[in-house]
Copies of this chain bind each other. A is one copy, B any other.
Amino acid sequence: MALGIGDDAAIIDPEHIPAGQKIVIATDTLVAGRHFLEHENPADIGHKALAVNLSDMAAMCARPKWLLMNLTLPDINQKWLPGFQHGVGELLQKYQVELIGGDTTSGPLSIGFTVLGLSSQPKKRSDARDKDLIVVSGQLGSAAFALNNPGQCSDCDAQLKRPTPRFDVSEAVKGYARAMIDVSDGLLADLGHICESSDLGATIQLEKIPIHASIKADSAWRDHVLAGGDDYQLCFTIASKDKDKLPTDCAVIGHMESGEGVHVFENGQKLTVKRSGFDHFT
């Protein structure tokens, strides 16, 4: 289906794409020192870098098919490559994604991934409607907890190091989900993108957001849940009539409404952001 590495370009033949499928393309750059640390396990770096990119496919309800990989490597760091490739290769195999091109350049360490996938119903951020229910998959805040409290919660550490793109959820809900996004920058920021794109506001209840029991050990746990990124769970909206179809791993945490911005309540009390993070509005 695709001409691979070793020519000026890769080739995909649209005649081999099933009717009704659209091509979905996501691209990400990850820079050493900013998105990952050079001394981290290179297989973990490879896994996470690709998982982050694949998560964009899940957020579009697309199945990933082809990958372009652009690596910029310091000359001294060639031994880093086999570990990295192992981490990437595991995920490529798991999701049956074909590496069709890319380049390797000498320079400060960074990773560029471009994934192409197919979707019959790509989900946009702009398709939420007034009164839609807001749903999240899995648990939020685990990755941010792990970043701030390494070694204190092995599930959280795994969530930070080796996130899983939620294709299981996107596949299950693609028939009825409306707007969808993955939680990469934190729930408030990402749900905020849905609000802006859909020209709506949102109200959510903190106590309805599934969290790992361990994270309350950190007094800043609300910040991790609401503003911590890197969980790569899905956040999407559905019509209330579709609520009973949701997979067990999904929770309704609020609803879309006219207006703008994301309003957060905890047991009926409105939360607001203070200098120290999220707190009850008093």
**A229–chain B nearest beta-carbon distance, Å:** 14
Interfacial chain B residues near A10, Cβ < 8 Å = 24-26
Contact in complex: A22, B12 (CB < 8 Å)? yes
Q: Are A7 and B125 in contact (CB under 8 A)?
A: yes
CB-defined interface of A60-79 with B at 8 Å, one 1/0 digit per residue? 10100000101010000000
Chain B residues whose C-beta falls within 8 Å of the C-beta of A8 in the assembled complex: 26, 56, 59-60, 125, 180-182
A180 CB contacts on chain B under 8 angstroms: 8
Q: What are the interface flags for A18-54 relative to B under an 8 Å C-beta threshold, 1 for contact and 0 otherwise? A: 0101111111111111110000000000000000000
Residues of chain B with a CB closer than 8 A to A258's CB: none
**A62 partner residues in chain B, CB cutoff 8 A:** 9
Within 8 Å by CB of A107, from B33, B114, B124, lies B33
Q: Is the interface of A mostly helix, strand, loop or mixed?
A: strand
Whether a CB of chain B sits under 8 angstroms from the CB of A102 is yes
Residues on B with beta carbons closer than 8 Å to the beta carbon of A9: 24-26, 56-57, 59-60, 62, 117, 122
Chain A interface size, as a band, is 35 or more
- Which residue of chain B lies nearest to A122 when distances are taken between CB atoms in the complex? B11
Q: Are B29 and A70 in contact (CB under 8 A)?
A: yes
Please give the distance in Å from A267's CB to the nearest CB on chain B.
Answer: 32
- Residues from chain B with Cβ under 8 Å of A25 in the complex: 9-12, 68, 100-101, 116
A interface residue numbers (CB < 8 A to B): 3, 6-15, 17, 19, 21-35, 56-57, 59-60, 62, 68, 70, 72, 100-103, 105-108, 110, 112, 114, 116-117, 119, 122, 124-126, 180-182, 197
